[in-house]
């Protein structure tokens, strides 16, 4: 469980570092700094891209597009219930962005952790094909 939370947290940091409703994000910084500090913007962008490739590749391999859609639907249903019960309001665009970042981080965290979860639930390990 701790591993899943850690993977979700790292995905949250990756997504929030890329874009969030505050001025402290890569998209805003890159737009302001492109002409003055292009090499640093490119380096930071490539570091973020590397993180996305790792997360997306692992997620697509473990749960696939259907699994990603299913987790997204579950998160969407949870948000719907929270709004319906009056525990959450969606009239703040900044809050909506944070909810979206949290939802995407949950999808990526579950995708990266799914092999471990499946092994614990079923007792069966996943083995990738390795060319030797």
Per-residue pLDDT tens, the chain, 132 aa: give them.
Answer: 788 899 999 999 999 999 999 999 999 999 999 999 999 999 999 999 999 999 999 999 989 999 999 999 999 999 999 999 999 999 999 999 999 999 999 999 998 888 777 777 777 665 654 554
Residues 66, 110: Cα–Cα separation, whole Å: 13
Q: Is residue 17 part of a domain?
A: yes
Q: Is residue 130 part of a domain?
A: no
Q: What is the chain's Cα-based Rg?
A: 17
Instruction: Provide the domain count of the chain.
Output: 1
Q: Is residue 131 part of a domain?
A: no
Q: Is residue 22 part of a domain?
A: yes
Q: Is residue 112 part of a domain?
A: yes
Q: Is residue 110 part of a domain?
A: yes
The residue segments making up the domain with residue 15 are 2-122
Q: Is residue 79 part of a domain?
A: yes
What is the pTM for the complete model shown? 0.82
Q: Is residue 71 part of a domain?
A: yes
């Amino acid at each position: 469980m701790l591993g899943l939370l850690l993977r979700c947290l790292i995905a949250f940091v990756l997504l929030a570092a890329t874009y969030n409703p505050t001025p402290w994000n890569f998209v805003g910084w890159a737009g302001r700094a492109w002409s003055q500090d292009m090499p640093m913007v490119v380096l930071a962008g490539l570091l973020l891209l590397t993180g996305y490739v790792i997360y997306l590749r692992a997620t697509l391999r473990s749960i696939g597009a259907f699994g990603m859609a299913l987790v997204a639907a579950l998160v969407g249903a949870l948000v719907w219930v929270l709004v319906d019960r009056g525990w959450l309001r969606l009239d703040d665009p900044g809050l909506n962005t944070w909810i979206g970042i949290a939802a995407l981080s949950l999808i990526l965290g579950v995708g990266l952790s799914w092999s471990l979860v499946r092994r614990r639930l079923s007792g069966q390990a996943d083995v990738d094909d390795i060319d030797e």
